[in-house]
Chain A
Amino acid sequence: MIISRQAFLRLSGCSFLAGAARKLKAALAPARWAMVVDPAACARQPNCTKCITACHQAHNVPSISDSRREIHWIAKEPFDRAFPGQEDEYSRERIAPAMVLCNHCDNPPCVRVCPVQATFKREDGIVGMDFHRCIGCRYCMAACPYGSRSFNWQDPRPFIHNPNPDFPTRTKGVVEKCTFCSERLGTGRAPACVEACPEKALTFGNLADPSSPVRQLLASRRHIRRRPELGTGPNVYYLL
């Protein structure tokens, strides 16, 4: 087949443009942030709480010893607590505890019920919190089927021992929870808990990108989510 120089140039120009357009589309397409938790890897260091410490240090989460007033963004829970209804007599021996945090649901009940949009779904899938708009009605806490939200029953500041100046502290009377470290993602860093884990048990990434580590893990390993039957579409996955 003979092709003229002009036709060749036109064709290659078009294909170059098409390729660039595809790249651009992928770059502009909103990310879908998700986390994959590997409880077996986590269990290799049974007493480790490095992810919790890192998260709570980064976000000025107060350390309140009274469990009734406690605030946490990420916690370690036994299998039967994290996955109620899926436990049996032997599951505690067989299955490792799981790190639980906000699931950043596709269809979050907390966002649905908030009367002032102080909690909201971002373009990239993160369920965000506006601490300055929250009226403290705690409707989101009644709505969340995962117990992922905490309320400031009192002024949290006396309980923050080493405050991080780069993140706001909260006032009494507002709700708070994990934000998937949206403030770090903006600067290209992984969430604090992911960075802190010595066993690489937490993997964070973009579900919209087929080559992302989270997609590869989910393609190759069996996994479950917490209470998917409720239709919330949780974005934290647990490897089996």
Chain B
Amino acid sequence: MFMIEKAIPRTRAYTLWLAGLAAVILAGVACYLRQLSQGLAITGLSRDVTWGLYIAQFTFLVGVAASAVMVVLPYYLHHTKAFARITILGEFLAISAVTMCMLFIFVDMGQPTRVLNVMLYPTPHSIMFWDMVSLGGYLLLNATIALVTLRAEREETAPPRWIKPVIILSIPWAVSIHTVTAFLYSGLPGRPLWLTAILAPRFLASAFASGPALLILLCLVIARLTSKPVPREAVDKLGVIVTYATAVSVFFVLMEFFTAFYSGIPDHTESLRYMFFGLEGHAPLVPWMWLSMLLGAGSLVLLLVPRWRRNDTLLAAACAMVFFSLWIDKGIGLIVAAFVPSPLGAVTEYAPTLPEAAISLGIWALGALILTFLYKIALSVRSGSLLESVK
């Protein structure tokens, strides 16, 4: 019914890719079973640093999911024809990313069998409740839109009229998922690193940089795998979006620095000092954060020069740098550093353990598997020319 049969492997390379992903997923499942029996003690988390790799991956991936709006909005509101073919790629990416988000929340729970308590005792004053509502709704919206429009395309008919308002609704909804996710953090009185009104705008800016950067990379990979030309106009336009969003994202980070260090209020500087310079001799995040800064600045140089941005190799490098830089920023630094120093001033180091990393990798692999299946389905519907733009 959902065209699943289109994802059945027919080539050797594809089979190997799926087998590789399956192996990583199985390793993750094995480690998760260990976590189920032994508790979260198998992670590197502690009394002081209570959230780590899992919640940080969740935060980063919410951004990737929200970024689908960067192709949906230009195409449906501004009739940007260049995005006609890749809109579905953005929506499928959102589906895969939201699924990973939910799994990362799930593996972080101490009592996963009680997960339905969130629905049994709905609690509107908890932002986590709203995060569940917005993420669940976003998954449903994107799954509906992608499947309905893809089926219409297969049957060579116009999509049903009712889908248009659903698509329009998905635009503010995408903004809401990352805003609500920022509110999870920015409303807590005792975590000064997060207690900043710019957290939600910063999340959105970094999302609209990292998500479209990933989409460009996916477009380039698909073009190579299917031996088709790169969809020039779409990739160029996405490149402009990544450039603006990266610039805004870097600007927002610098604003945090100014407020914290010029005011000199210890509460607001300590976590930043821990990230970038180290605190009381503890500096595990320092190389990561500077690498993130360097990659961000370097990518901006590549992106700001139009001639370099239009070169596929340089663009791919810039996009990989943006993605990795923001992954460090949100997928490591921002979550862990807010717990240092602790409310009692203790500096506790955190490093993910091997099983913790394996579980995280397993979820990423599952996301890649879902994305592969979905893209394969879209590819078959379009009989091989996934990316070519509509004339």
Taking Cβ atoms with an 8 Å cutoff, the residues of A that contact B are 67-71, 77, 80-82, 84-85, 100, 109, 112-118, 133-139, 141-147, 150-155, 171-175, 227, 230-232
Contact = CB atoms under 8 A, between A and B. Distances in A.
Contacts of B121: 116-117, 133
A231 B189 contact: yes
Contacts of A100: 344
A112 B190 CA distance: 13
B148 interface: no
B221 interface: no
A232 to B, nearest CB: 7
Contact of B41 (A69, A80, A81, A146): A69
Contacts, number: 141
A69 B46 contact: yes
A153 B344 contact: no
B189 A139 contact: no
3 cross-chain pairs, A with B, having the tightest CB-CB distances, nearest first? A136-B110, A145-B190, A173-B110
Given A135-B115, A137-B110, A154-B39, 7 more contacts: A81-B346, A115-B123, A135-B111, A138-B50, A141-B50, A145-B188, A173-B111
B110 A135 contact: yes
Contact of B118 (A77, A113, A135, A142): A135
Contact of A154 (B38, B114, B128, B346): B38
Contact of A232 (B51, B189, B191): B189
Contacts of B129: 115
B109 interface: yes
B127 interface: yes
A109 B190 contact: yes
Nearest to B341: A84
A142 B110 contact: no
Contact of B45 (A134, A145, A153): A153
Contacts of B47: 67-71, 150-151
Contacts of A81: 344-346
B227 interface: no
Nearest to B126: A115
B165 interface: no
Contact of A155 (B39, B123, B188, B348): B39
A64 to B, nearest CB: 10
Interface string B181-192: 000110111110
A216 B367 CA distance: 62
19 contacts: A67-B47, A68-B46, A69-B41, A81-B345, A85-B266, A114-B126, A115-B132, A116-B117, A117-B121, A134-B110, A143-B188, A151-B40, A152-B110, A154-B38, A154-B41, A155-B39, A173-B39, A175-B110, A230-B190
A136 B107 CA distance: 11
B267 interface: yes
Contacts of B345: 80-81, 84
Given A116-B117, A137-B128, A152 B39 contact: yes
A114 B51 contact: no
B343 interface: yes
A139 B126 contact: yes
B267 A85 contact: yes
B108 to A, nearest CB: 7
Given A85-B266, A115-B123, A116-B118, A142 B188 contact: yes
Contact of B39 (A117, A147, A172): A172
B128 A115 contact: yes
A135 to B, nearest CB: 5
B40 A153 contact: yes
Contacts of A174: 110-111
Nearest to A226: B343
A231 B195 CA distance: 14
A95 B3 CA distance: 72
Given A115-B126, A143-B190, A68 B344 contact: no
B125 interface: yes
Given A133-B121, A139-B128, A153-B41, A172 B110 contact: yes
A113 B110 contact: no
Interface string B309-330: 0000000000000000000000
Nearest to B120: A116
Contact of B189 (A133, A141, A145): A145
Most B Cβ at <10 Å: residue of A109, A114, A173: A173
Contacts of A69: 41, 46-47
B256 interface: no
Interface in B82-121: 105, 108-112, 114-115, 117-118, 120-121
A147 B188 CA distance: 13
Contacts of A68: 46-48, 348
